[in-house]
């Protein structure tokens, strides 16, 4: 049951005389309900892949399908709608609105969504049931990331794309955030793709994809992912 498919995707940058291949002939199926971690060192092409899957960037070659539709054929208007409706983004630095409460941050993101989930339920699910009316500055990094996750999930997107979601957090808080993303994956049957250079995060994946120099060098199911309490 394929959600997304990347077919022979390449992204080339021309830097004067030099061509940089940020993605090289990437073939990838993402199946519905998967919990995937894309692991690779800085410069290996993770962000490039995430930006292409998220409709923020177009490949120079190849095609990308979401639910069977070729998003590389979309114009800007359709790509904007695609990002809004199909993708929930979680970033390293949360990207919250400082002047809005936790609840209002989630509310704002869901306003234009057709199938949004119940905001209070999602805030409960991320463990912020009693912090809904607090502002981001009153909350810890881990809590702010919980708001960001609630904001992405409440849109009820087809795919959650997380870009170094633990990158600004200490190790223990990072593990808690990963655990939450896993709970969300199971509870809402949401497909989750996380990119990171953090090896221990990779060990929590159900499926681990390793990248080097714009290529997928390994793609395997993890039979015994670490699932902390």
Per the listing, tokens 């990002």 go with 83
Q: Which of 10, 29, 43, 100 binds ligand ADP (CB under 6 A)?
A: 43
**Number of neighbouring beta carbons within 10 Å of residue 85:** 15
Task: State whether residue 100 is helix, strand or coil.
Answer: coil
Min dist. Cβ of residue 40 to ligand ADP (A)? 5
Min dist. Cβ of residue 79 to ligand ADP (A)? 7
Is there binding between residue 35 and ligand ADP (CB under 6 A)? no
Min dist. Cβ of residue 120 to ligand ADP (A)? 21
12-20, 114-122, 128-136, 184-192 -> range binding ligand ADP (CB under 6 A): 12-20
Q: Which of 12, 32, 56, 116 binds ligand ADP (CB under 6 A)?
A: 56
Tell me phi and psi for residue 203, to 5 degrees: -70, -15
Min dist. Cβ of residue 43 to ligand ADP (A)? 4
Q: Which of 48, 101, 110, 166 binds ligand ADP (CB under 6 A)?
A: 48
Is there binding between residue 5 and ligand ADP (CB under 6 A)? no
Is there binding between residue 24 and ligand ADP (CB under 6 A)? no
Per the listing, tokens 């981001």 go with 136
CB 123 within 8 A of CB 150: yes
40-48, 169-177, 183-191, 217-225 -> range binding ligand ADP (CB under 6 A): 40-48
Is there binding between residue 13 and ligand ADP (CB under 6 A)? yes
Task: State whether residue 177 is helix, strand or coil.
Answer: helix
Q: If residue 78 lies in a helix (H) or strand (E), which one and from where to where?
A: helix 76-86
- Residue 227 CA, chain-centre distance (Å), reads 19
CB 86 within 8 A of CB 66: yes
């Amino acid at each position: 049951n394929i959600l997304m498919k990347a077919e022979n995707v390449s992204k080339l940058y021309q830097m004067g005389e030099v061509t940089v291949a940020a993605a090289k002939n990437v073939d990838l199926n993402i199946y519905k309900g998967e919990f995937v971690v894309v692991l690779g060192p800085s410069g290996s092409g993770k962000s490039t892949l995430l930006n292409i899957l998220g409709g923020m960037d177009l490949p120079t070659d190849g095609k990308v399908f979401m639910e069977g539709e070729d998003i590389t054929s979309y114009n800007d208007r359709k790509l904007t709608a695609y990002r809004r409706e199909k993708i929930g983004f979680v970033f390293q630095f949360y990207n919250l609105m400082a002047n809005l409460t936790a609840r209002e941050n989630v509310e704002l993101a869901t306003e234009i969504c057709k199938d949004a989930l119940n905001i209070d339920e999602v805030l409960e699910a991320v463990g912020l049931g009693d912090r809904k009316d607090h502002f981001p500055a009153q909350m810890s990094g881990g809590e702010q990331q919980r708001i960001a996750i609630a904001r992405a999930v409440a849109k009820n997107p087809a795919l959650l794309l997380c870009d170094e979601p633990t990158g600004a957090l200490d190790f223990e808080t990072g593990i808690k955030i990963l655990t939450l993303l896993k709970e969300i994956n199971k509870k809402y049957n949401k497909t989750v793709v996380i990119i990171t250079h953090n090896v221990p995060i990779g060990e929590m994946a159900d499926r681990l994809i390793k990248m080097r120099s714009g290529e997928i060098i390994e793609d395997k199911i993890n039979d015994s992912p670490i699932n902390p309490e």
